[in-house]
Structure 1
Amino acid sequence: MRTPLSWLAEYTDLAPGARGADVAASLVRVGLEEEDLHGGDITGPLVVGRVLELEEQVQKNGKPIRYCVVDVGRNGQMLIEGKHQEIVCGATNFEVGDLVVVALPGAVLPGGFEISARKTYGRMSNGMICAEDEIGLGHDHEGIIVLSRLLGEERAATLSPGDDAIALLGLADETIETNVTPDRGYCFSLRGLAREYWHSQGSPEGGFREPAAVATPEANGDGYTVELKDDSPIEGNEGCDRYVARIVRGIDPTRQTPSWMARRLTQAGMRPISLAVDVTNYVMLAVGQPLHAFDVDQLSGSVVVRRARAGETLTTLDDVERSLHVDDLLITDGGEQPLAIAGVMGGASSEVSESTTDVLVEAAHFDPTTVARSSRRHRLITEASKRFERGVDPKVTAAAAQLAVDLLVEHGGGTVDAGVTDVDRTTDRAAYRLDVTEPARIVGVDYSRERVVAILRDLGCAVDDRGAATDDVHVRVTPPSWRPDLVDAPDYAEEVARIDGYNNIPSITPTPTGGRGLTHAQRTRRLVADALAGAGLTEVLSYPFVAEGLADQLMLPADDDRRQAVRLANPLSEERPLLRTSILATLVDALRRNVARGQRDVAVYELGLVFRPGGPLGTAPVPSVASRPDAATLERLYAAVPAQPRRAGILASGHAEPSGWWGPGRAVDWSDMVAAVQTVAAALAVPVAVTGDPGHAPWHPGRCARITLEDGTLVGHAGELHPKVVAALELPERTVAAEFDVDVLVAASAEPVQARPFSTFPPALTDVALLVASDVAAADVEAALRSGAGEALESVALFDVYEGEHVAAGRKSLAYRLTFRAPDRTLTTEEVNGFRDAAVAAAASATGAVQR
């Protein structure tokens, strides 16, 4: 929103000597974002010029350059040659006879850019023909300013070469540009910004002058016929709850927009068009209420506001024919011919033209959501839609229409009809019972009751403070009509803090109370991520959306519950309409993309949610927003939400250890995935068991490990992916993967771990080699060794597996290193041998192992 200081000063008292930077800083103090400052930093000569001659030449680089002769009045008479100025220009959007803005030598443009006569492209250029951004009038740099297009043909016809362009365009007046956040829609007007500046100055008595304070006539039966027929399918979503219509007849179509109004519109970033249109834009900028002007002669006699019908179209003012949606709210002529998309843009059939003499002024209040959806649906972001979708004051509608009528009568020479139409279905805002101690509790500043009440009243709230006499801490607050964002205690607390001054909030480091740190689940998840990162893996984040054919590519069995995926009603991409049931389902994209970018050695992991419905889900109801859903509705909502366990997935390809001068590298294999899961389990002090799993997709049936807790609870799987899966997903050969349930590990690690005392006595190491059948799992042999070795056993480690000519067919040799240590003495050789023999005996009994 661009705000000229001279216009702002009409509605509020500026601080003595305040410049644009001072006003912008004041607005920042009350929470508005300064975007830019325009004007006030240009010194002349900056004049109007008329192009008399031009010669265009295309340079070697293909860029066209124009050598122009420009009449700039008496400013342009060169002292020696006595002829018009010759200026070199790179723009091509103007022709001979056009009026342009010329900066002559000696002028200083925004940013301290000084203009001087200089030789360029082989000729002397005595100045510069200016574009909008070069003089701070806008951001357009596509071409130079043509005044007939900027100000209109009629206004440009009154100009002469040599006229001061600084005064013409209001460039001496500083303009503040502010960024309006979605919750502060009232600041899309001089009315709102003047109020905010008034707050920044302490809300002095009489310091704010309401621009909408005009007398408005009561509605009567002689006004233009208006009907509100909104048949929205959404209950309570009335698209239009107020519509004011006023008619001004006999406007002189030759009347021009007053120069002061055209200048203000230009300063605000809007192009003057015609008197009727400029008046509606001017009033919109002043009070924040968008208006629309219809040519009465193009209407049949009534206006009906309704939703669009299937198949209807409308050619809007930008000459684009638009197919309307049944949710679009329309302004129609007699209920049939669409005239405008309500709150967005009018239609070409009823627009005000150069011959219009009778104008119907529309001032209406439209539902923000309805306007926002139509604006985005048709990709039309207009000045009206930006205001309506943020919330327009429903109480200013009649005043805005009256302001427009008065300006049309004053400057257009018309007369206003006695009939007044005001269809008003608005409802008053309900009072909120506010605890006046809440702002202090939320913000941390001790605001007194009197200060809170005073700020709320300055904001425009009606405050019932009758409880002050009884020491009741509650007051009843009715927010002003222009503040739809004020709903509950945090909203009012924010306003109190904002108006009192954010700078008054002390910078104090809060002291946390006990028991409010990370939960056990949060700490566990961080440990899991740290352990995987410490193992050399890189964390990635993928979107949880998958294609329908992915289950087939992963070779999931027909009865696998991972095939039961939730389908999105509005997917971001029709190619991926399902939610993942496995982390690996989306992690493969990250691996494939890295490999495609030339990264051969990749090891990535992700922690995230998967969606496992486990069967048909219930249908989610659409509860009312008027109150909290009841228990039955909540139960149905929860029944429609799938289970969402947290999983971790790992995917790797290439080399685990690179090759170099030290020797050959080592490719990643299934054991690296098992080791990664074991690393996580060790970090959480959760014992796990590893066994083979011959049939769990998408892993290779002979290279897949099943990882469980000691009680048999499944943790996950790790190993090498099936070759057919690798080929279907276009992954590198021998790609390995792991996926495990983080929630299971969180639950298993909930019990505190008791640390064992550390023995200072030396360990005793002994190795055993056992012959077992080839189908016996090494984990089963290890478990048997542990069970028979006794309490002195400190660790068991498998360090060799052998199958070859020295071992019978169908058998394998497993070599283990057993470490024994006593807490109170050095173990003797006889004791160690006894422990070892007992361990071997237990393994022989449990697995049929024979010591080599």
Structure 2
Amino acid sequence: MRVPVSWLRDYVDLPERVTARDLATQLIAAGLEVETVDEVGSGVSGPVVLGEVSGVEELTGFKKPIRYCQVDVGTANGTGEQQNIVCGASNFAVGDRVVVALPGSVLPGGFEINARTTYGKVSEGMICSPTELGMWEEHTGILVLPADTGAPGDDALERLGVRDDVLDIAVTPDRGYALSIRGVAREAATIYDATFRDPADVHVTGAPEGGYPATVADAAICSRYVLRGASGLDPEAPTPLWMKLRLARSGVRPISLPVDVTNYVMMELGQPLHAWDRAKLRGPIEVRRARSGEQLETLDHVKRALDPDDIVITDESGPINIAGVMGGIGTEIGLSSSDVVVEAAHFAPTHIARASRRHQLSSESSRRFERDVDSAVQTAAATRAVGLLAELGGAAVDPGYTDIDLTEPREPIVISGDLPDRIAGVEYPPHTALRRLREVGCRVVEDDAGGTLRVTPPTWRPDLVDPNDLAEEVIRYEGYENIPSVPPRAPAGQGLTSGQRLRRALGRGLAGAGFTEVLNYPFVGERDLDGLQLEDDDERRRALRLANPLNEDEALLRTTLVPGLLKALARNVGRGFSSVALFETGLVYRPDPDAPEKAPILRVDRGPTAEELAEVRAALPDQPHRVAAVLTGDREASGWWGTGRPATWADAVEAAREVARIAGAELTVENGQYAPWHPGRCAALYVDGGDGRTLVGHAGELHPRAVHAYGLPARTAAMEVDLGGIEAARVAVRAPTISTFPVATQDVALIVDESVPAGDVEQALREGAGDLLEGIRVFDVYTGDQVGAGYKSLAFSLRFRAADRTLTAAEATAARDAAVVRAAERTGATRRG
């Protein structure tokens, strides 16, 4: 919310000494997030004056219209003579009042104005447009002012109010009232104990009968609905300069008088309005939920399929508005509209929020409705709007109006007078809560004993719903800075848990292996799961749906880390990084089909009981920790030192092995089939624990269809493992015995069937070699004519060492031969000559 301080001062008597930055500091202390203070117009300096066009000479021979103008600027130029200015705009005529930047002035952006020769003429300044003055964006020509704006030579900056200070406030969801000049002015008045003049204090003329006919189908979707009409509006009536300037300062682009008036009242009172061309309405208006199959072409020329959860405004032709979000094009105010119907309503915030996200339409109106608006300001807002149309556009306000009031009175909240003291840990003076809550606008009744207050919050504060909300109001006005800072004492001897230490070690280990850690949002969509090529009955499709998602396309809690990593990888590749290796450690969410649908809402005035905690835990999904990695491009870069090596499925398996090594477990790798991995290049990863062998994850090359779905390079590899399963298989780490005797190395090449995994052969060699074996590794794999079709040669390097002696060649050879015999028995391997 952008708040011009000059507009704010219309409704609150701020002390003259208070600057915009002082005000911002006090508003921040009271809980509003003022992000910046913009000094609008501060970049304009020098002689910028009013002028009157006294002559225009059309220059020919150029690609665009050029005019050589004589402008009366009084004595501002020091001579009293006409100022000669070359101008490319054509939207003004002789006698018009304009703004002239004389030589020596500086316009926004550091643009200096000097006399110069252009188009064969000497131009002694510039006739300015609103954009060039930093007032608002307009590219239709220069700024033409009313004749009574001032005399030629007068200071235009002061006359037009070009300079102003604007507060840019980030309004949190619980402070919707601050999305208006009215709300911020009330805050400022309370902070400075200044007089507040409510702009909603409007004299409502006419009678609540005889207005445009309307009905509301359900009070749950719309509790207040007001329609006011204005007839005989001059379609060509311009929006006055002061209104355009205030709208532009507030971040709203001026369009036309009817639209600008509704936007102006919305910014002023916080109540969104909508105006229709009455001639385009067909019969009575009804507020209801949309019906299946209904459509509406909105003002952005998009035909939208309506959802039964949408609130729609309809007439006899069908839907004409998505309530609180955007109007339909069929009833839009046009250049010839003279009869107008203005709508002011109080719609259900949750419906508007869902509709805005569903249709991906976030407007100034929807931002206010989804934070909830004042339920008692609708009549004042509609009356203010038609009054401005009458004042500025020559319209006649219809004597009758429609006012459907289905609101329910708010129930009082009972609060102890010392609750703010107990929450803040500060002893406030007596009756502080009573005084502050009345300043907020609450109706407060004190009981006879003086210890309990019955508080009815005002209609403009729908966020005040329980005693703690009221206590916060007292505390923030008394000053958060007055709350003592008492840091809690951490109990001694409690460091990181074993799981936390493991996750930190994993991060260091994978980073050392060349992976970069990323943190993705834990949200996915059906399209992400489709991209993984998951079957319809895959357990990863059973996901929790968010009640209020940030994006309707990502409305599910993730059941796997892979989609987020693949999207992050695609973004990096799309930005020119051809070789990328990423990893993430985080939770996934696996719902229990037998769990309760909703978790209980715990009380805030005490800690939860054991039974309440049990209910919460029963409703929560299983949340295992996972670690996943993806990689593409070169695993080893090429350079002057030689050629590089592309990343393959084996690197993904090795990343999983690294995770297991860090955790103190050992992986067993077997062939597997599991989406989204390539069925021929997928490794199933197992660990051995107390309960037998456990599947903890998969690694390998991704399926080509999954690669294509995510827009990734071919042969992208990935791995994902369950940390809980690996951690459960951890074994106690024992310091190895270091032998001082030399190692004996024996190499052996074995021929096996192509279908035999190298891991099986390695395991058999380990078993047969006995206790003297220190280490084993595969250093070559060969297929070709020398081993025959359907076979492969696996070359192993075996390291033997004894702890108490130097091994003889015979001992090392015997251990090797025993290993080969066991491999032959287990896998059918034969020695390659």
Q: TM-score range by the shorter chain?
A: 0.7 to 0.9
Change (3 A) 1:800 1:508: same
2:83 to 62, 82, 85: 85
User: Letter of the aligned partner of 2:15 in structure 1?
Assistant: A
State the Cα distance separating 1:242 from its structure 2 match.
1.6
Match of 2:211 in 1: 224
Pair 461,400 (structure 1): closer, same or farther in 2 beyond 3 Å: same
Q: Note closer, same or farther for the CA distance 1:803–1:197 as it changes in structure 2 (3 Å cut).
A: closer
* Separation in structure 1 between the aligned mates of residue 709 and residue 83 of structure 2, nearest angstrom: 72
Partner secondary structure for residue 409 of structure 2:
coil
Distance apart, 1:462 and its partner CA: 3.7
Match of 2:687 among 695, 709, 712: 709
Give the TM-score taking structure 1 as reference length.
0.71
Aligned to 1:762: 740
| Corresponding residue of 1:422 | 403
d(CA) in 1 for partners of 2:704, 2:390: 83
Matched, 1:50 2:53: yes
Q: Which residue of 2 aligns with 1:486?
A: 464
What is the alpha-carbon distance in structure 2 between the residues aligned to residue 329 and residue 626 of structure 1? 32
**Could you say what secondary structure the match of 1:676 adopts?**
helix
Aligned to 1:127: 125
Deviation at 1:682, TM superposition (A): 1.5
Write out per-residue CA displacement over residues 546-575 of structure 1, whole angstroms, 9 at most, x where no aligned residue. Answer: 6788677xxx9x999589788999999999
The change in CA–CA distance for 1:329 and 1:167 in structure 2 (over 3 A counts) is farther
For 2:305 and 2:747, the matched residues in 1 are separated by: 81
In the other structure, the counterpart of 1:530 is: 508
The number of aligned residues is 801
Aligned to 2:184: 193
- Structure 2 match to 1:38: 40
Contact 1:283/1:289 (<8 A) preserved: yes
State which of 791, 795, 799 in structure 2 corresponds to 1:817: 799
Q: CA deviation at 1:429?
A: 3.0
Q: 1:338 touches 1:347 (CA, 8 Å); kept in 2?
A: no
Change (3 A) 1:766 1:536: same
Corresponding position: 1:207 with 2:195: yes
CA separation of 1:531/1:452 partners in 2, compared to 1, >3 Å: closer, same or farther?
farther
The partner residue of 1:678 within 652, 657, 664 is 657
Q: Is the 8 A contact 1:605 1:650 kept in 2?
A: yes
* Structure 2 residue aligned with 1:243: 225
Once the 2 structures are TM-superposed, how far is the Cα of residue 190 of structure 1 from its aligned partner?
A: 3.0
1:649-689 CA deviation, whole Å, 9 max, x = no partner? 4445545364644x665666665454433322111111333
The question of whether the paired residues in 1 share the 8 Å contact of 2:751 and 2:794 is answered with yes
For residues 65 and 596 of structure 2, the distance between their equivalents in structure 1, rounded to whole angstroms, comes to 65
Alpha carbons of 1:10 and 1:347: their partners in 2 closer, same or farther (altered >3 Å)? same
Matched residues in 1 for 2:48 and 2:792: separation? 101
Give 3-state SS (helix, strand or coil) of 1:36's partner: strand
- Secondary structure of 1:135 counterpart: coil
Residue 58 to residue 373, structure 1, CA distance change in 2 (3 Å): farther
Partner of residue 667 from structure 2, selected from 682, 688, 696: 688
The residue correspondences of 1:795-814 to structure 2 (distance < 5 A) are 795-798=774-777, 814=796
Q: Which residue of 1 aligns with 2:372?
A: 391
Unmatched tracts of structure 1, length 5 or more:
149-155, 822-826
Task: Give the percent of matched residue pairs that are identical in Structure 1 and Structure 2.
Answer: 40
Deviation per CA, 1:40-99: give whole Å up to 9, x if none. Answer: 87665421433742546798xx8x58343043353588849x4x3222345566677765
Alignment-derived partner of residue 287 in structure 1 = 269
Hey, what does 2:166 align to over in structure 1? 176
Which sections of structure 2, spanning at least 5 residues, go unmatched? 605-610
Paired with 2:792 and 2:113, the residues of 1 have a C-alpha distance of: 94
Partner in structure 2 of residue 656 of structure 1: 636
Output the CA distance in 2 between the equivalents of 1:350 and 1:699.
53
Alignment match of 1:146 (pick from 138, 143, 147)? 143
Letter in 2 for 1:481: T
- String of CA shifts for 1:416-459, please: whole Å, max 9, x gaps: 88766532111233444557787678778776785455433322
- The aligned amino acid for 2:271 is Q
1:646 aligns with 2:626: yes
Deviations 1:767-816 (A, max 9, x none): 456787736876567667777888x8794334767989999999977442
What is aligned with 1:71? Answer: 71
Counterpart secondary structure, 2:441: coil
SS of 1:53's equivalent?
strand
Q: 1:428 to 1:304 in 2, by over 3 A?
A: same
**What is the RMSD computed on CA atoms of the aligned residues?**
6.2
Change (3 A) 1:772 1:351: closer
Offset, 1:482: 0.8
Check the 8 A contact 1:2/1:178 in 2, yes or no.
yes
Deviations 1:492-539 (A, max 9, x none): 565455433455467776654579876544543443343222122344
Contact 2:39 2:163 in 1 (8 A): no
State the one-letter code of the partner of 2:211. Answer: Y
When residues 229 and 217 of structure 1 are mapped into structure 2, their CA distance, relative to the original with a 3 A threshold, is same
In structure 2, do the counterparts of structure 1 residues 530 and 445 end up closer, same or farther at CA, with 3 Å as the change threshold?
farther
For 2:560 and 2:513, locate their aligned partners in 1 and report how far apart those are by CA, in whole Å.
22
65-74 vs 805-814, greater mean Cα deviation: 805-814
Structure 1 residues 504 and 91: alpha-carbon distance in aligned structure 2, compared to 1, 3 A threshold: farther
474, 477, 494: which one aligns with 1:499: 477
Q: Is the 8 A contact 1:342 1:371 kept in 2?
A: yes
Alignment of 1:350-499 (within 5 A): 362-371=343-352, 384=365, 386-401=367-382, 421-432=402-413, 451-463=432-444, 466=447, 477-488=455-466, 491-492=469-470, 495-496=473-474, 498-499=476-477
Matching residue's letter, 1:756: R
Q: 1:152 maps to which residue?
A: none
Report deviation, 1:460. 2.0
Match of 2:608 in 1: none
CA contact (8 A) 1:565 1:578 kept: no
Distance 1:601 1:584 in 2: 18
1:192 is paired with a residue whose SS is helix
Secondary structure, counterpart of 1:713 in structure 2: strand
| Residue identity in the other structure for 1:198 | A
Aligned partner letter, 1:365: H
